[in-house]
Amino acid sequence: MTRGQKRSLMRRGHRWLGLVVALLVLVVAGSGIVLQHPQWLGAVQNEPLCLAVDPADPDRMLRGTHWGVEVSTDGGRQWREVAMLAAPTDVGRILFVSQGTDTVVYALGTASLVASSDGGRIWREVPGPAGELLFGAEFLDLTVSRDGALSLLTTVGQYHRSVGEDWSPVGVPPEPARDWQRFVHDLHTGHVFGQLGRRTAEGGAWGLILLTVSGLVLHRRVGSRRQK
């Protein structure tokens, strides 16, 4: 085999290798986007996980699901999703708490806590203990006193927060267990950095797909010109 034939074989092998790698990049980026939108795969199994009745209106109910919170105004016959900027996932606890003349609603997911001071129409995120989400900790249960003090049970210990103060551990928290599989999954989808992280990860995946496809198109055009 001559030197020219070897170079031609190497170029051909390089092109095929580049094509295979490009396809793998498209698969990885595309799957990352689909993880952000599981509803694209068809009907999403969104079973209810908990139920709470509005003390001011027995026909009005809130229930937690895998993907957020749903509300019913007819005693549970029909349900609709409650719109939130950053809905918690796997909501296993919803509490109506009377605080003075107001009623505050809390919804606890496995990685976030949200609250509403208007009965569940407008929600805000309640910051959790600093650093817990980064290590894959999960929120397990929540209690709220009438004066607004929060007690949060997590997989790395119990935390308490009085009104106007920061979270503090109750007792000596155990060493956090590292759930590396969950951490890698959340890192891949951007969940580890919250709503902004999810949007950034999805934007990066779309950019990677665009870059790969445009590179393949340019490569084919250059190859066609050389053949001419």
Could you report the average pLDDT of every consecutive run of 10 residues in the chain (228 residues)? 69 69 74 70 74 92 92 92 86 88 89 87 85 66 89 88 87 60 65 64 76 73 60
| pLDDT at residue 91, as a whole number | 93
Q: Residue 216: CB partners within 8 Å, gap ≥ 6?
A: 19, 22
Side chain identity, residue 195: Q
| pLDDT at residue 47, as a whole number | 85
> How many other β-carbons are positioned within 10 Å of the β-carbon of residue 108?
26
Cα–Cα distances in angstroms (integers) from residue 199 to residues 28, 109, 187, in the given order: 17, 20, 12
For the chain, list the domains and their CATH numbers.
Answer: 44-177 (2.130.10.10)
| pLDDT at residue 134, as a whole number | 45
| pLDDT at residue 133, as a whole number | 47
| pLDDT at residue 93, as a whole number | 94
